Chains A and B, each alone.
Chain A
Amino acid sequence: MNRKKLQKLTDTLTKNCKHFNTYEVNCLVSLFYTLVGDVAERPGAVVGLDRNAFRNILHMTFGMTDDMIMDRVFRGFDKDNDGCINVAEWINGLSVFLRGSLEEKMKYCFEVFDLNGDGFISKEEMFHMLKNSLLKQPSEEDPDEGIKDLVEITLKKMDYDHDGKLSFTDYEEAVREEILLLEAFGPCLPDPKRQVEFETQVFKDSHEFNYDI
């Protein structure tokens, strides 16, 4: 990709992104192309990170482990649902992921947790997300009982309108009262320590950023 084109791309992206400055966008764009590999020779092909590559980044760089959550994060980034994160999605996604305001993050997290995208986090979805959260005790008759109970506890805490599921309003109200509930159903934002590491490395000199994919 020639420099002029890159410059133009960076400018457009910077205009649309409120959390990164030009330099940072530049760094992130270069990182993106480093990660994707040189694709200039293959015009026409979809340029971007596929699900696996992206999950790898989430795992290696941001220490995420939950497969389901990572899938959901990928869906969150991949706005156009083409199974591939292009450079604009990359920048916009990271903008919320790393620097988002509380509102943005709440919206993002809610989308991650709303597995079927119907605008509500249902009991079933909660159960699904929490099912691995408790140490299984062999002594218990119903291994799922604890999880079910946990779901009830969460609902009691967050379901303000008592309709048995979480709307965004419920979620927002609960998070505003207790910020710890932002990532209530699993870590979908970067760990602060990892984030600092990532940013210092990328924004210092992205070319030296050694990426193991």
Chain B
Amino acid sequence: MGVTLTRSLQWTASGHGTRTLEATPLNDGILEEIILFVDTFLYEHPREAKFVFVEPLGWKTSLEPSAFGAGYVISEKTVTSEEVDKNGEPLLVLSGPHIRIRSFGQLSRLLHIAKDTKLRETRACLEANRDPVVKILGLDYNTTKGEDFSALSILGERSNDNDSEPERPMTVARLLRQLDVHLLNHALRHVSSEMPLNPSAIKNDIELLKHHAGKGEQAVLESIEYTSDYEFSNGCRAPPWRQIYGEICYVLVRPHGAEALCITCSTQGVFLNGGKTDDEREINYERKGKIYKDLVTLLREKSPTFAENMATQENKHNEEQQKQKSPPDEVPNKEAAAARAAPAKSALEKNQINFSRGTARRLQPSLNWRKPPDSKEHRSSVKDTLEEKHGAKLERPRASLSTGKAHRKSTDKIEEIISESSSESEEDEEPPDHRQEANADLPSEYWQIQKLVKYLKGGNQTATVIALCSMRDFNLAQETCQLAIRDVGGLEVLINLLDTDEVKCKIGSLKILKEISHNPQIRRNIVDLGGLPIMVNILDSSNKNLKCLAAETIANVAKFRRARQAVRKHGGITKLVALLDCGQISLEPPQPSLYETRDVEVARCGAQALWSCSKSYSNKEAIRKAGGIPLLARLMKTSHEDMLIPVVGTLQECASEENYRAAIRAERIIENLVKNLNSENEQLQEHCAMAIYQCAEDEETRDLVRLHGGLKPLASLLTKTDNKMRLAAVTGAIWKCSISKENVTKFREYKAIETLVGLLTDQPEEVLVNVVGALGECCQEYENRILVRKCGGIQPLVNLLVGINQALLVNVTKAVGACAVEPESMMIIDRLDGVRLLWSLLKNPHPDVKASAAWALCPCIENAKDAGEMVRSFVGGLELVVNLLKSDNKEVLASVCAAITNIAKDQENLAVITDHGVVPLLSKLANTNNDKLRRHLAEAISRCCMWGRNRVAFGEHKAVAPLVRYLKSEDTNVHRATAQALYQLSEDADNCITMHENGAVKLLLDMVGSPDQDLQEAAAGCISNIRRLALATEKARYI
């Protein structure tokens, strides 16, 4: 019984005064079991019922003396039992409200007398006697408390003194023990049957209720809101000191037609609390009502309107709840569950850890687990849409950082997405921060490092330098040492040293920081400890060695977003750019000091740091604004590979921005990039090729590369396939360069196309994407198409159509499409079932792939033998194409229109797509301003007019009037297609009227004068149809 009483019963938390038992379901259950035990004691164990307690159990009773009957001596205020112990003392004494009982028999009788107030009496008894077992059996028992058999043996000794009733205390003890076990089991059953609430479940409930709250008749509530906006990382909103009681959050609910309720949601259940206190800031946390199993149950009880409306909403509610129970909830759930499972105290600790580590921990794992393979593209596409929304002002979201932390989290994320360029590596994601377990086996280095850190802390300059030098003898590249330095508080000291005046200490400290900052966790810690601003300041130092070390350390630390941001915000970019200038201004002091280093070295370190920083968009801008490009251009002229690699690396990162590319052209950097392609250093070659890849987006640059003789080295690098990184960069450069026709001719000269075809197999995706892209560009020319076919390039290309890499698919479809222009190649593609593969890519989720596949289908259909039959053989294929007209991506729409134009050349297929409703869908698109779409749409419309009453249908769906407006476009391609469409449509009289009303005649008359014959003809035909109709009507009128 003792164990249950101390461990299972839930006592109120209030610190002062006597603690009382809470009225929870668990407590009530236990009390009832105890009552049952005591109640039946008299009958079941009549002998033990006479056992006299060592000390009486006393409490304040609510029973009146009058309630007692036979067997008691009753006076006005007191009652004594007739039953007495050996010494003649009564076993029950009641005086005033105080009652003292010394046997189970009397307890049992008392409960009989108490009848309805049994529960109250038992509760009062337990509250007043926190350790009833001791009082019943004596202190001997207490010394061996709870732990049974030894206790029984002691009792055995006791009973020997008491010969008359030898067995009794022992049996009583055994009985109590049985009761205890019974009660524990009971409590356990109770606990396990009750599914405790967790933050996410409550959140779901509240979100749902919010959904259904409002003013209307149907709304279940008027409003429901949290009392606090801030949500801790474990999902709770209660302050930490309340979370240890299992409280999760507090909500303010206004039901219809009732007063507002302030409700506490805790793991044990949901209950009303004391409401907001007078000053409106604090909540009276004390419980004021029953505990309900969840929010809905409580509200049902409290608000009749709620119960009523809830019933109607129930179905909907259930449905939604089902939906809400999707996997993403699992992660926080688990964490919350873990926190709850631990005892309250450690739960508090855990929460605190959670606070200090911020949000990263919770967000990051999901990035790693759930990101689909195309995460990068996805991110950049998100970026694109955001950029559109925010226009040029990318930094704007930060301005709205005023409200609430939770809010900030999301804005931060947006900022992260838009401020980072796509060149960021995966390594960027914040890794989980696992500190060493305190009691884990620590390596010997740990203790040695701890000692050294002690000397760092408590030593003067001399001792500090010795300790720093000694610390460098450890293998700082090893994670154990890196983390040991951090865990013994070394990082703080090292960073503090940077703030001193002692040059030697700073140098020593930076030398260590430089090494250990290769570790991603340490980087984060350095940033958290505010190390970056100090290092940025050191960049101003007059000591070049210091500058170098600081820049190199920054280069290591600035490998993630927050760090790069910190460098920028503290003016680091400007200072780093200034370092680049060191090599030029020869303000050499008359004699170099001992701890000094060379200027070139300073510039190199500066470039190294800028390279790291240049992975953020804003930093690229900052570098440009600080005048970094001319300096980088100047450094490009050196021949030190050590220098060139970071310089080219920086340029290559930055070249993703248009204004950089312009500057790179202007600074004549391309020339040097090309020159360094011939370098011996593979890394340098890679970065040069990468930079060309980025820059060759612009036509002028592509020409420059050719003029400086860059194509030949690129082509020759193509044959060196061992270094995949370099190969990817080189193929990328070739791809972009081959967008220009002249370059393609050169590449053919250098036999690059054959090599490219050879690279279509057994290469990593990064390489494949570029190779296929290059082939796609090359195959725009007849000779190259032949070449690719002869080299056997079609088969591997078609094989790549089954991939999943989206960038690769876009390029492959383009290349296959380019090849399909050649009927002979088309035969091969058809034989390899390439068209079916292309067709199935129309189902790809990404619009770029869809569009590219649809474009590729056009030449396929055009050049395939029995194209109509082939198209029909794809089950559901035509329906799929028609449905793509519902897309909202212009490129997809244009490509699909083009495909439809080709499909519709076959009458039978045209009939099928008409059945699938192609006419209304095309008509719906007519109101577009996009010339590319207009052209292909007009072509599709003119094709589709060839079937049945489609001409009329286009008129009915109001496609004609917008088409007339196309004639005002600037693009002659649009004019031609539109005139042809109008000519087709003008076969229907109503359409002629619409055209005439929209002023088509005048526009068409202009077109008749066009040098384009097709356009002339179509325009003239259309006019003649309109005219003929007019004549016919006139004739009709006069007849």
- Chain B: minimal CB distance from A155 (Å): 11
Contact with A along B755-789 (1 / 0, CB 8 A): 00000000000000000000000000000000000
For residue A185, which residues in chain B have a CB less than 8 angstroms away from its CB?
462
**Interface: B993 (CB within 8 A):** no
**Interface: A40 (CB within 8 A):** no
- Chain A: minimal CB distance from B542 (Å): 8
Question: Number of residue pairs across A and B with beta carbons under 8 Å?
Answer: 74
Given A149-B451, A179-B595, A192-B543: A134 in contact with B463 (beta carbons within 8 A): yes
For residue A132, which residues in chain B have a CB less than 8 angstroms away from its CB?
460
Query: How long is the Cα–Cα vector from A179 to B460 in the complex, in angstroms?
Result: 18
Contact of B595 with A154 in the complex, beta carbons under 8 Å: no
Contact of A186 with B594 in the complex, beta carbons under 8 Å: no
**Interface: B1007 (CB within 8 A):** no
Considering the complex, give the chain A residue whose CB is closest to the CB of B472: A178
Contact with B along A181-206 (1 / 0, CB 8 A): 11111110000100000000000000
- Chain A: minimal CB distance from B549 (Å): 12
Q: Please classify the interface of chain B as helix (H, G, I), strand (E, B), loop, or mixed, using the class held by over half of its residues.
A: helix
**Interface: B503 (CB within 8 A):** yes
- Chain A: minimal CB distance from B1020 (Å): 90
For residue A146, which residues in chain B have a CB less than 8 angstroms away from its CB?
454-455, 458
Instruction: Choose one: B451, B469, B593, B595; the contact of A157 (CB below 8 Å).
Output: B469
**Interface: B400 (CB within 8 A):** no
- Chain B: minimal CB distance from A140 (Å): 10
**Interface: B414 (CB within 8 A):** no
Considering the complex, give the chain A residue whose CB is closest to the CB of B511: A180
**Interface: A153 (CB within 8 A):** yes
**Interface: A213 (CB within 8 A):** no
**Interface: B246 (CB within 8 A):** no
For residue A129, which residues in chain B have a CB less than 8 angstroms away from its CB?
462
**Interface: B651 (CB within 8 A):** no
**Interface: B508 (CB within 8 A):** yes
For residue A79, which residues in chain B have a CB less than 8 angstroms away from its CB?
none
Query: How long is the Cα–Cα vector from A192 to B459 in the complex, in angstroms?
Result: 21
Query: How long is the Cα–Cα vector from A118 to B470 in the complex, in angstroms?
Result: 26
- Chain A: minimal CB distance from B161 (Å): 55
CB under 8 Å from chain A, chain B span 498-528: 503-504, 507-508
Highest count of chain A CB atoms <10 Å: which of B452, B461, B470, B595: B470
For residue B504, which residues in chain A have a CB less than 8 angstroms away from its CB?
180, 183
Contact with A along B441-475 (1 / 0, CB 8 A): 00000000001101101111111011111101100
**Interface: A156 (CB within 8 A):** yes
Considering the complex, give the chain B residue whose CB is closest to the CB of A98: B591
Instruction: Choose one: B507, B591, B594; the contact of A105 (CB below 8 Å).
Output: B594
- Chain A: minimal CB distance from B906 (Å): 82
Highest count of chain B CB atoms <10 Å: which of A149, A181, A192: A192
For residue A180, which residues in chain B have a CB less than 8 angstroms away from its CB?
465, 468-469, 504, 507-508, 595
Instruction: Choose one: A135, A137, A153, A179; the contact of B470 (CB below 8 Å).
Output: A153
Given A180-B469, A192-B503: A102 in contact with B594 (beta carbons within 8 A): yes
Contact with B along A133-151 (1 / 0, CB 8 A): 1110100000000100110
Contact of A133 with B462 in the complex, beta carbons under 8 Å: yes
- Chain A: minimal CB distance from B113 (Å): 67
Contact of A130 with B470 in the complex, beta carbons under 8 Å: no
Contact with B along A114-136 (1 / 0, CB 8 A): 00000000000000011011110
Query: How long is the Cα–Cα vector from A180 to B466 in the complex, in angstroms?
Result: 8
For residue B455, which residues in chain A have a CB less than 8 angstroms away from its CB?
134, 146, 149-150, 153
Query: How long is the Cα–Cα vector from A99 to B594 in the complex, in angstroms?
Result: 9
Contact of A134 with B469 in the complex, beta carbons under 8 Å: no
Considering the complex, give the chain A residue whose CB is closest to the CB of B471: A153
Contact of A153 with B467 in the complex, beta carbons under 8 Å: yes
For residue B508, which residues in chain A have a CB less than 8 angstroms away from its CB?
180
Instruction: Choose one: A19, A133, A183; the contact of B463 (CB below 8 Å).
Output: A133
Query: How long is the Cα–Cα vector from A134 to B465 in the complex, in angstroms?
Result: 12
Considering the complex, give the chain A residue whose CB is closest to the CB of B466: A154
For residue B462, which residues in chain A have a CB less than 8 angstroms away from its CB?
129-130, 133, 183-187
Instruction: Choose one: B451, B459, B461, B469; the contact of A181 (CB below 8 Å).
Output: B469
For residue B460, which residues in chain A have a CB less than 8 angstroms away from its CB?
132-134
Given A99-B591, A180-B507: A134 in contact with B459 (beta carbons within 8 A): yes
Considering the complex, give the chain B residue whose CB is closest to the CB of A133: B463
Query: How long is the Cα–Cα vector from A8 to B472 in the complex, in angstroms?
Result: 51
Query: How long is the Cα–Cα vector from A2 to B978 in the complex, in angstroms?
Result: 109
- Chain B: minimal CB distance from A163 (Å): 19
Given A133-B460, A157-B473, A192-B503: A150 in contact with B466 (beta carbons within 8 A): yes
CB under 8 Å from chain B, chain A span 42-89: none
Query: How long is the Cα–Cα vector from A49 to B462 in the complex, in angstroms?
Result: 28
Query: How long is the Cα–Cα vector from A180 to B472 in the complex, in angstroms?
Result: 12
CB under 8 Å from chain A, chain B span 26-77: none
Instruction: Choose one: B458, B473, B593, B594; the contact of A134 (CB below 8 Å).
Output: B458
Query: How long is the Cα–Cα vector from A184 to B459 in the complex, in angstroms?
Result: 13
For residue A102, which residues in chain B have a CB less than 8 angstroms away from its CB?
594
Considering the complex, give the chain B residue whose CB is closest to the CB of A157: B470
For residue A181, which residues in chain B have a CB less than 8 angstroms away from its CB?
465-466, 469
Contact of A153 with B594 in the complex, beta carbons under 8 Å: no
- Chain A: minimal CB distance from B625 (Å): 33
- Chain A: minimal CB distance from B216 (Å): 72
Query: How long is the Cα–Cα vector from A135 to B457 in the complex, in angstroms?
Result: 9
- Chain B: minimal CB distance from A165 (Å): 16
Query: How long is the Cα–Cα vector from A81 to B931 in the complex, in angstroms?
Result: 98
Contact of B466 with A184 in the complex, beta carbons under 8 Å: yes
Query: How long is the Cα–Cα vector from A183 to B463 in the complex, in angstroms?
Result: 11
Enumerate 13 A-B pairs (CB-CB under 8 Å) in ascending A order.
Answer: A129-B462, A134-B458, A135-B458, A137-B458, A146-B455, A153-B466, A153-B467, A156-B470, A157-B470, A178-B469, A178-B472, A183-B462, A185-B462
- 20 other A-B residue contacts (CB within 8 Å) besides A133-B462, A157-B469, A181-B469: A129-B462, A130-B463, A130-B466, A132-B460, A133-B460, A134-B458, A134-B463, A135-B458, A135-B459, A149-B451, A153-B466, A178-B469, A178-B472, A179-B595, A180-B468, A180-B508, A180-B595, A185-B462, A187-B461, A192-B593
**Interface residues in chain A, defined as those with a beta carbon under 8 Å from any beta carbon in chain B:** 19, 99, 102, 105, 129-130, 132-135, 137, 146, 149-150, 153-154, 156-157, 178-187, 192
